Structure 1
Amino acid sequence: MNVLKVALLIATGLSSAAYAQSGPPIKLADVAELSGAGATVGTNWKNGIDLAVAEINAKGGVLGRKLEVTHADSQSNPGVARAQVQKALDDNPYVLLGPGYSGSIKVTAPLAKKAGIAEIMGGEAADLTQAGNEYVFRTSFGGQSSMPKVAKYIADDLKAKTVAIVYVNNDFGKGGRDVISKDFAERGVKVVADLSTESGQADFAADVGKIKAANPDAVFIYLNEDESARILKELRRQNVQAPLIGETTLTGQKVIELAGDAANGARGHVGLTTDAPVPAIQAFRDRFKERYNYVPDHNGIKGYLSVYIVKAVTEKMGKVDQANFAKTLHGMTITPEQEPGILMEVTYDDKGDIDRQSFLVEVENGKQVVKKVLPKLGKSASN
């Protein structure tokens, strides 16, 4: 065989390999809360997705194919979310992203399961991954993972014997309230006020009055971001002195911006924060701020991670394989060494729940300050 023939064969082989890894765009469908009470959640989520898509496409896409994402507005309404997800699934996307509200996920997850399409979502209600739907995956901790850590902190670190609970009356809020109430009971912490509030509620004067009357050792707050800012202002106005403890939605960037000085002193367990002492997360924050001119909250990180999860799973399979995507992600560990866009090592279990580092934070002078880094729980998984 002469040199010319060898060269032609090599060129043909390279061309075939390139062709095998190229093709039409990989379609992703996002349904998020772009208006209504959850607009802060959905807008951050969407912007995180778009940033990740732009970064990945700028580097050649996934297996040589560009990502293409469409966005639909759930209007923060489960009925609208269901209709938008059905419309998105009719177009047969590779993966479904969102929604962020737990109530919307409850009505959309069965649709994704029926279509055999993985749904990478932002909801945190404890029961979302407990119903046996193998196509649902989290981007953050569920209440069943985070609430025991919060209860332990209130009981062991704060030495609180009594607590007031304020929660939002939706799937997210009720799920968290149910889990932490059980944890408080197991630790001997008495709930002296158990207050249900409404999504989008503007006036918290009466609720805070009941908290003052109960005189708890600590207050646990589990509301959405906008309402968290409002109740923090009212708690400060009525001079409630008890420690204010919550989860990600109490101490996030949007809450700090809306509440101003009233956010100072609020503490919480957060799975994701742009103030984490992790260089990759800080670099993400800078890129996000440069693109959108504001600092993202945890929802922005979750949206960003959802796309890099798609990339990591697809590259592990070595092909765009919708049918095997969910099966591959179960039990998978993704490290920043394998995929820098994942920011922190994450492991998925067989239910779609995650295990990774998390943080205890306190708001000081208008910024989240990480007080403690909590390690992974160490569940076994495959790489």
Structure 2
Amino acid sequence: MRQRSLIAITAALSAGALTLTACGSRDSDDKGSDSAGTTITIGVDAPLSGENSTTGLGIQYGAQIAVDDANSKKLVDGVTFKIKALDDKAQPANGQQNATALVGDKTVVGTVGPLNSGVAQSMQQVFASANMVEISPSNTNPELTMGKNWQTDKKRPYKTYFRTATTDALQGGFAADYAYKDLKKKKAFVVDDKQTYGAGLAKIFNESFKKLGGQVVATDHVNTGDKDFGSLVTKIKNSGADILYYGGQYDESALITKQLKDTGVKIPLFGGDGMYATTYMETAGDAAEGDLATAVGVPVDTLPAAKSFVETYKSKGYKGDYGAYGAYSYDATMAIINAVKAAVDANDGKVPSDMNKLRSTVVDEVQKSDFEGISGKVSFDEFGDTTNKQLTVYQVEKGAWKAVKTGTYDAG
């Protein structure tokens, strides 16, 4: 079930609880709702069907496990958290509609998501207008936190937007460094899908690879949804490239590598975290062998703090892939829950009765986040970016992603 029904936040006045509302004045001694019986909703926006749904579902269920953990531990006394997951189908227009719906729901205190940077661009203003926090576990385009001129003049566009994933400014350079220094590749053919995430990542890889001394022999573009890459494959085959870098998602890259390898061209395809999903190997088959992808953070299966999360995800039989962003979604959700707890604690143990006030307080408290999550330390810099800069290169070995290098990258 993609969308969960909402439970109204009501309780009997005789029990000392007031309805949580978004407006209306209170008497001076009426500071808010007693937390007993109060339900607070956290929105999730991601592609839950169609393209990119493998990773989108990982985000949804990562958030769900966090909410279940918080409720079982009674992290905020008397408050029950619920998830409202909306499907954006990886389309900006859908994301904007979902953002409007979440803002309009007066039980929603914040949102986790989206998956895609291009979708995030359509949502940021909506959440900012409502002063409601948005934390993406996966967006990597630098413009989202530092503005369009981030390379020369960093300015944060929206104080309500945060992310637990590090940016392409680091990921693209990390990939170029590995390709040139570790793989000893000298000639790259660079392709992107013309989307915000893919084009931005490819551009940074292009620039970084050339700075290292590599040659970008050619660049090209594809459209999302394309299936036949015969023309592109011919160009790559004739270019003399010893590596193909792709900025985009696994849907197209899996087909590109398969069609390329079918012509006898055995150069590896290297991409970003949009490729890091089990679906890549399922679609590409044996052609995926030796291909590479960067992803944010440390492999979740190696993190002691994430052991329970992984066990729960598997035991519940949740669909999707937790490996890419599940842990970062869990931590983003916990940042919101911790912020709600801080707001309640500061209000004499009561949930602020004015939702506008609660949302505003949550934004401020998320900015102050400083805790150990299951993906590592969770805190944000002045731009809303995670302070966790860890990245990992994965390579397909025997049909599975295997971590081959973890570290950080100084973009200089």
Same-fold status (TM-score > 0.5) = yes
Q: What residue ranges of structure 2 are gaps of 5+ in the alignment?
A: 1-32, 148-156, 352-357
Q: Which amino acid aligns with 1:343?
A: S
Contact 1:331 1:349 in 2 (8 A): no
Contact 2:300 2:323 in 1 (8 A): no
Q: Which amino acid aligns with 2:365?
A: T
Counterpart among 157, 180, 183 of residue 158 in structure 1 = 183
Q: Secondary structure at the match of 2:376?
A: coil
Match for residue 68 of structure 2? Answer: 54
Match for residue 85 of structure 2? Answer: 71
Contact 2:380 2:387 in 1 (8 A): yes
Counterpart among 346, 355, 359 of residue 322 in structure 1 = 359
Match for residue 87 of structure 1? Answer: 101
Report the CA distance between 1:120 and its aligned residue: 0.9
Q: Which amino acid aligns with 1:179?
A: I
Counterpart check, 1:278 vs 2:303: yes
Contact 1:33 1:74 in 2 (8 A): yes
Match for residue 126 of structure 1? Answer: 142
Counterpart check, 1:255 vs 2:262: no
Q: Secondary structure at the match of 2:274?
A: helix
Report the CA distance between 1:272 and its aligned residue: 4.5
Contact 1:162 1:217 in 2 (8 A): yes
Report the CA distance between 1:181 and its aligned residue: 2.0
Q: Secondary structure at the match of 1:345?
A: strand
Q: Separation in 1 of the partners of 2:73 and 2:231?
A: 54
**Residues 235-246 of structure 1: pairs in structure 2 closer than 5 A:** 235-246=260-271
Q: Which 4+ runs in 1 deviate beyond 4 A?
A: 272-276
Q: Secondary structure at the match of 2:190?
A: strand
Q: Separation in 2 of the partners of 1:75 and 1:369?
A: 28
Q: Secondary structure at the match of 1:181?
A: helix
Q: Separation in 2 of the partners of 1:257 and 1:137?
A: 32
Match for residue 384 of structure 2? Answer: 352
Contact 2:300 2:375 in 1 (8 A): no
Match for residue 296 of structure 1? Answer: 322
Report the CA distance between 1:170 and its aligned residue: 1.0
Contact 1:124 1:143 in 2 (8 A): yes
Q: Which amino acid aligns with 2:59?
A: W
Q: Separation in 1 of the partners of 2:339 and 2:409?
A: 21
Counterpart check, 1:98 vs 2:113: yes
- Scaled by the length of structure 2, the TM-score of the pair is 0.78
Q: Which amino acid aligns with 2:337?
A: K
Percent identity for Structure 1 against Structure 2? 25
Report the CA distance between 1:166 and its aligned residue: 1.7
Match for residue 364 of structure 1? Answer: 397
Q: Secondary structure at the match of 2:158?
A: coil
1:161-196 superposed Cα distances (whole Å, 9 cap, x missing partner): 221112112111111122222222322222112121
Report the CA distance between 1:335 and its aligned residue: 1.3
1:197-248 superposed Cα distances (whole Å, 9 cap, x missing partner): 1112212222222111112122112221222222222232122222332222
Counterpart among 196, 200, 204 of residue 221 in structure 2 = 196
1:34-66 superposed Cα distances (whole Å, 9 cap, x missing partner): 234333332222222222222222222434411
Contact 1:271 1:359 in 2 (8 A): yes
Contact 1:125 1:142 in 2 (8 A): yes
Say if 1:255 and 1:286 are closer, same or farther in 2 by CA, change over 3 A: farther
Q: What residue ranges of structure 1 are gaps of 5+ in the alignment?
A: 1-18, 337-341, 378-383
Q: Separation in 2 of the partners of 1:369 and 1:208?
A: 26
Aligned Cα root-mean-square deviation (Å): 2.4
Q: Separation in 2 of the partners of 1:297 and 1:224?
A: 15
Higher RCO structure (Cα 8 Å, ≥6 apart): 2
Q: Which structure is higher in helix share? A: 1
- What is the aligned length? 354
Q: Secondary structure at the match of 1:160?
A: coil
Contact 1:169 1:197 in 2 (8 A): yes
Contact 1:221 1:246 in 2 (8 A): yes
1:334-376 superposed Cα distances (whole Å, 9 cap, x missing partner): 214xxxxx33223311111113232222221122222222159
Of residues 22-31 and 65-74 in structure 1, the stretch that sits farther from structure 2 once superposed is: 22-31
**Residues 141-156 of structure 1: pairs in structure 2 closer than 5 A:** 141-156=166-181
Q: Separation in 2 of the partners of 1:55 and 1:239?
A: 50
Q: Which amino acid aligns with 1:301?
A: A
Q: Separation in 1 of the partners of 2:379 and 2:115?
A: 20
